[in-house]
Amino acid sequence: MTPDPHLIVLSVGNTRTQIATVEEGTCGAAACFDNADLAGAVSRVVDLWGRKKPEMTGSILMADVNDPVATRLASAITGQLSEEVYRIGHDVPIPLMVRLDPETITGKDRLLNALAAWESVRQACIIVDAGTAVTVDFVDGEGTFHGGAIAPGATMQLKALHEMTDALPEVEFRRPQQGAFGKSTAEAMLMGVFAGIRGMVWRLVEQYAAEYGAFPMVIATGGDAETIFGEDELIDRIVVNLTLIGIAACARNALAGDAPDSSEDASSS
Active site amino acids: 109
| Cα 102 versus chain centre, distance | 23
Distance CA 203, CA 197 (A): 10
- The distance of Cα 181 from the centroid of its chain, to the nearest Å, equals 32
- What is the rounded distance in angstroms from the CA atom of residue 22 to the CA atom of residue 150? 29
Angle at 192 between CA 187 and CA 195, to 5 degrees: 115
User: On the CB side of 113, how many CA atoms lie within 13 Å of its CA?
Assistant: 33
Burial (CB count <10 Å: 0-12, 13-18, 19+), residue 112:
buried
Residue 184: exposure state from Cβ atoms within 10 A (0-12, 13-18, ≥19): exposed
| Secondary structure (3-state) at 8 | strand
CB 67 within 8 A of CB 109: no
**Strand 16-23 and strand 26-27: pairing?**
antiparallel
**Reduced to 3 states, what is the DSSP secondary structure of residue 148?**
strand
Cα dihedral sign, 31-34-40-41: positive
